[in-house]
Amino acid sequence: MRFYFIFPLAACLGISCKNSSETISPAASVAVPAVYSKIYGATSITNDGTYITIKTTGVPDHKSAYFSGTNALYEAFTGKTFGGNNFAKNPNSISTQSYTFKIPLNPQMDPAHKATPLGPIGVALNGVPLFNQYAGPSQPLTNEINSFDQYWGHPQQTGSYHYHVEPLYLTQVKASKSALLGFLLDGFPVYGPEENGQTVQNSSLDAYHGHSHSTTEFPNGIYHYHITSTDPYINGSGFYGSAGTVSQ
């Protein structure tokens, strides 16, 4: 038996030792910039030199009233939710998804500022998708808001859990109200509702819900979105930049 273990090693020493995965993998991989490692909920993050590809299950890493009762993360919720009304649970429950977000490595402003779609428009650090300010085509979130759980997310009929507003678990537990919280599909980062000790107001942001200046992660300055407590919450009138894609 020993022969079979030694032989590949000897072959390896004789020539430059190539990992077998190198010949199987079709695309060249490039180092992933450190900032994307903040997306701790990703199952994988790769860089092909043009796009950062982020795969996630979309399942939150925090408790929710929307897990099945047998899930360790199930926790009943009876309090007030976002907006101050009583929590009104929707009939859906959280299930595992298979998201592939492809976001530009080098985000670019797009003068077309295309409208955000319904469904995922970005990804939060915990791998949960970010949704826009609508419950349906141009329908505000009016009643949906009451179905946000203890961390201000909820699942839709497909079981896809998501945030339309501040991801409370990230701003209160994992990061902070002034931290980087995720990225939209155009590759521009999303920051929390506070900056320099002040609450960010919609009026200090542009039509797409962002502005440009240096941040901890981007000391040379970058356009970035801010989440605020009032509509449109995360994004305004479309993407600031050219959006990548998301599949599920």
Q: Summarize as ranges the residues that interact with Zn ion (CB under 5 A).
A: 195
Q: How many Cβ atoms from other residues are within 10 Å of residue 98's Cβ?
A: 11
Q: How far is the CB of 20 from Zn ion (least distance, A)?
A: 44
Beta bridge partners of 194: 199
Q: Which residue is nearest to Zn ion (CB)?
A: 195
Q: Would you say 110 or 195 has its CB closer to Zn ion?
A: 195
Shortest distance, position 108 Cβ to Zn ion, whole Å: 19
- Distance between CA atoms of 188 and 186, rounded to whole angstroms? 6
How far is residue 93's CA from residue 155's CA, in Å, rounded to a whole number?
6
Give alpha helix (H) positions in 86-169. 168-169
Min separation Cβ 244 and Zn ion, Å = 21
Q: Which is nearer to Zn ion, 61 or 195 (CB)?
A: 195
How many angstroms separate the Cα of 210 from the Cα of each of 177, 187, 200, 238, 239? 16, 13, 10, 11, 10
Our CB check for Zn ion shows the closer of 32 and 89 to be 89
Kindly tell me which of 110 and 206 has the beta carbon lying closer to Zn ion: 206
Distance of CA 232 to the CA centre of its chain: 17
Q: Which is nearer to Zn ion, 20 or 86 (CB)?
A: 86
Shortest reach from residue 200's CB to Zn ion, in Å: 7
| Cα–Cα distance for residue pair 214/191, rounded to 1 Å | 12
Least separation in angstroms between residue 147's CB and Zn ion is: 8
